[in-house]
Amino acid sequence: MEESSLCLLLLLSFLDSGAARVSLTMSPDKSQFFKYECFTVSCEREEGEHRTTWRVMKRTKDGEVSPCLSSCSISAAFPVTDSGEYWCENGQAATSNSVNITVTAGSVILESPGLPVTENDNVTLRCTCKETQTSCSVLKTEFYKDGLLIDGSNTGHLTLYRVSASDEGLYKCKTLGSDESPESRLTVRAPPGGRDAPVPLPTLFILLRHLLVGSPYLLSTVLLGLIHRCRLRAQRVRKRRRTCSKVVMEMEHGNMCHHT
């Protein structure tokens, strides 16, 4: 039983160590950048997570994977080398959430959150022109979701109010001069503790570990208690029987003395 418990403990400890306890963060929080802009992607540890070394990994459009240190600080972004997927990883192959970043040499980008947004938040999408580095407010701007026109604007931005899962998708913007931005995905997550949020993997593994490892010892304790109780009961029964036998013997002896 102890060997089985030890095996379960080692297995669940391994699974627990593979569960991510870090989040990917980025500054500024947007998914598109002009060529030569700067940005930083880093790993933010959860409270109490100090025993694992995390590093930022990057997969470029051609599939090449390369590591950074605890953060990737890009001082002059380039489309080929800095566009791609970024995530955190440790030596046990655990991974964090990921973000997709696009660096473009074009004249228009869509400034939308690179990290997931929370359900019921208001999210503003901004169409930015390279010449002014501000919203393309002097031009007629169109916003598209999954290839379909959803809104036209003269201010260069679009606000999505109280976003939900139905707002997830690929967004882009297009100016009057036919310049358009790349597409970026908007991801919406449930609020903490809301919409029957699933148990986080680390918590689930820890719970299973305690249940599976603790159950044999709990059962052993219960069984030992029952055995001890049965032994006490048997001892009391034997004691009563000895007492009864002694009384019977004394009574028989008394009867014999009376007859003599």
Residue range 106-197 forms a domain whose CATH class is: mainly beta
Give the pLDDT of residue 8.
Answer: 42
Compute the mean pLDDT over every residue in the chain, rounded to the nearest whole number. Answer: 78
Percent pLDDT > 70 in the chain is 68
Convert the chain into a string of H (helix), E (strand) and C (coil): CHHHHHHHHHHHHHHHHCCCCEEEEEECCCCEEECCCCEEEEEEECCCCCCCCEEEEEEECCCCEEECCCEEEECCCCHHHHCEEEEEEECCCCEEEEEEEEEECCCEEEECCCCCEECCCCEEEEEEECCCCEECCCCCEEEEECCEEEEEECCCEEEECCCCHHHCEEEEEEECCCCECCCEEECEECCCCCCCCCCCHHHHHHHHHHHHHHHHHHHHHHHHHHHHHHHHHHHHHHHHHHHHHHHHHHHHHHHHHHHC
What are the domain boundaries of the chain? 106-197
Q: For residue range 182-231, list pLDDT tens digits in order.
A: 999 999 998 876 655 444 555 455 555 555 655 666 666 766 777 777 67
The model's confidence at residue 111, banded by pLDDT at 50, 70 and 90, is very high
Mean pLDDT lowest for which of 63-77, 85-99, 173-187, 188-202? 188-202
Mean pLDDT score, 234-240: 72
The model's confidence at residue 21, banded by pLDDT at 50, 70 and 90, is confident
Give the pLDDT of residue 38.
Answer: 95
